């Protein structure tokens, strides 16, 4: 059975499930040609939101102003390295096709996305299955599935277990590069033989904020349910806590199989995060969220 047929079967069987009871199609597909955009109405006003598995219901500040949304008592903030963004939120009426409901929207003092009014997570849509068609299906693709939970602003997250630590993992084609926090990078380096393979550089990680990252290669590739990872950009100072990252060079007379670390402790509180962006997801033809199973399915050709 071709991989594309799997998604067709999912849509077919979904016609008698919750989506049909809500009066909406069982499945929804958003393509790269359409920029993954869905036309919705918020408080009766039309908006174009970009569907993304790694995002929640977030608006650009201009869209929130146009809707005349008033801030509520729930005022989140986001710290990205040394940059702190102040946010607001408000419950508003959301219409997607014939479906109507109430959802809490978030916005900050920077745009979350370009070319749209904001983002909407796959779980926020009323369909039983939601697919992003990234490119045409290619021979030799493999399906990778991940159990996921819903996060307010991070969309659908998968807990990658590394020893006793769980690393919050998300998949977002809207973000240009895949990267891990410093604390997650330190643990992955120790467990999988990570070593630096390039110099420090600046890359946008979210809200257009540039942060220092450095490429790391793993001698023992990481496998997330079969989704292999042998290199990654590490945010060298963000959310590091007391973890230490590998040194540039091994100490004299050191065991070459030992991971040598250096650097002062600090780097803020430790947070264990891993993000797959467009650079790694370009190997995939589609990403599908199956609501009843709470699973994210990626169809990719790796290697």
CATH number for 70: 2.40.70.10
Q: pLDDT value at position 267? A: 54
205-251, pLDDT tens digit by residue?
Answer: 888 889 999 999 999 999 999 999 999 999 998 888 889 999 854 44
Whether pLDDT at 41 is above 70: yes
- Structural domain includes residue 144: no
**Distances from the Cα of 207 to the Cαs of 154, 174, 211, 295, in angstroms?**
13, 11, 11, 27
Supply the pLDDT for residue 6.
38
Q: Is 199 a residue whose pLDDT tops 90?
A: yes
Residue 54 lies in a domain: yes
Question: Does residue 261 register a pLDDT over 70?
Answer: no
Same domain, 126 and 181: no
Reference 279, options 225, 244, 231, 212; nearest CA is 231
Q: Do the domain assignments include residue 191?
A: yes
Q: Are residues 290 and 269 in the same domain?
A: no
Specify if 154 maps to a domain. no
Q: What are the tokens at 66?
A: 């146009």
For residue range 54-82, list pLDDT tens digits in order. 999 999 999 999 999 987 887 877 787 77
| Residues 223 and 290 occupy one common structural domain | no
**pLDDT the model gives residue 251:** 43
- For residue 169, being part of any structural domain is answered with no
Decide if pLDDT at 188 tops 90.
Answer: yes
Clarify whether residues 216 and 290 are in a common domain. no
Q: How many domains does the chain have?
A: 2
| Alpha helices per DSSP H over the chain | 3-13, 18-21, 61-66, 182-192, 278-281
Mean pLDDT score, 83-100: 92
Residue 40 within a domain: yes
Query: pLDDT higher for 41 or 240?
Result: 41
- Same domain, yes or no: 204 and 268: yes
Per the model's pLDDT, the better-predicted residue between 290 and 153 turns out to be 290
Same domain, 16 and 77: yes
pLDDT at 3: 38
Percent of the chain with pLDDT over 70: 86
The average pLDDT across 174-191 equals 94
- Is the CA virtual torsion 155, 113, 67, 19 positive or negative? negative
Give the domain range for residue 264.
176-276
Indicate if 110 and 72 belong to the same structural domain.
Answer: yes
Asked whether the predicted pLDDT for residue 255 surpasses 70, the reply is: no
Does residue 206 lie in a domain region?
Answer: yes
Instruction: Provide the whole-model pTM.
Output: 0.85
Whether residue 20 has pLDDT greater than 90: no
Does residue 147 lie within any of the structural domains?
Answer: no
Average pLDDT of the segment spanning 262-289: 83
Note whether 85 and 19 are same-domain residues: yes
- pLDDT (tens digit per residue) in 2-15: 334 333 333 444 44
Given this model, what pLDDT does residue 250 score? 46
- The per-residue pLDDT for 209 is 87
Query: Same structural domain for residues 11 and 44?
Result: yes
Sheet with 284-290: strands ordered across: 27-31, 129-133, 284-290, 295-300, 142-147
Burial class of residue 90, CB neighbours in 10 A (0-12, 13-18, 19+): buried
269 shares a domain with 287: no
Residue 238 sits in the same domain as residue 192: yes
Is residue 12 located within the same domain as residue 120? Answer: yes
Both tokens of residue 132? 């992003």
């Amino acid at each position: 059975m071709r991989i594309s047929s799997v998604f067709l079967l999912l849509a077919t069987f979904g016609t008698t499930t919750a989506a049909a009871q809500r009066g909406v199609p069982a499945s929804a597909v958003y393509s790269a040609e359409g920029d993954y955009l869905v036309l919705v109405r918020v408080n009766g006003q039309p908006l174009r939101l970009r569907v993304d598995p790694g995002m929640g219901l977030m608006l650009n500040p201009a869209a929130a102003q146009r809707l005349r949304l008033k801030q509520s008592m729930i005022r989140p903030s986001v710290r990205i390295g040394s940059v702190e963004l102040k946010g607001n939120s408000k419950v508003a009426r959301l219409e997607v096709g014939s479906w109507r409901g109430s959802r809490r929207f978030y916005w900050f003092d920077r745009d979350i996305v370009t070319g749209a009014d904001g983002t909407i997570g796959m779980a926020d849509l009323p369909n039983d299955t939601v697919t992003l068609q990234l490119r045409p299906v290619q021979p030799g693709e493999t399906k990778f599935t991940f159990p996921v939970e819903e996060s307010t602003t991070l969309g659908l997250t998968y807990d990658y277990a590394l020893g006793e630590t769980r690393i919050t993992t998300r998949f977002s084609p809207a973000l240009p590069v895949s990267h891990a926090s410093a604390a997650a990078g330190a643990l992955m380096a120790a467990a999988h033989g990570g070593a630096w393979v390039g110099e420090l550089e600046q890359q946008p990680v979210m809200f257009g904020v540039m942060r220092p990252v450095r490429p790391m290669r793993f001698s023992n590739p990481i496998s997330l349910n079969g989704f292999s990872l042998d290199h990654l950009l590490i945010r060298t100072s963000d959310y590091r806590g007391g973890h230490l990252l590998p040194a540039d060079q091994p100490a004299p007379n050191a065991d070459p199989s030992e991971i040598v670390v250096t650097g002062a402790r600090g780097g803020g509180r430790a947070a264990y995060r891993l993000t797959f962006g467009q650079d790694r997801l370009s190997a995939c033809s589609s990403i599908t969220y199956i609501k009843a199973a709470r699973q994210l399915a990626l169809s990719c050709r790796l290697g």
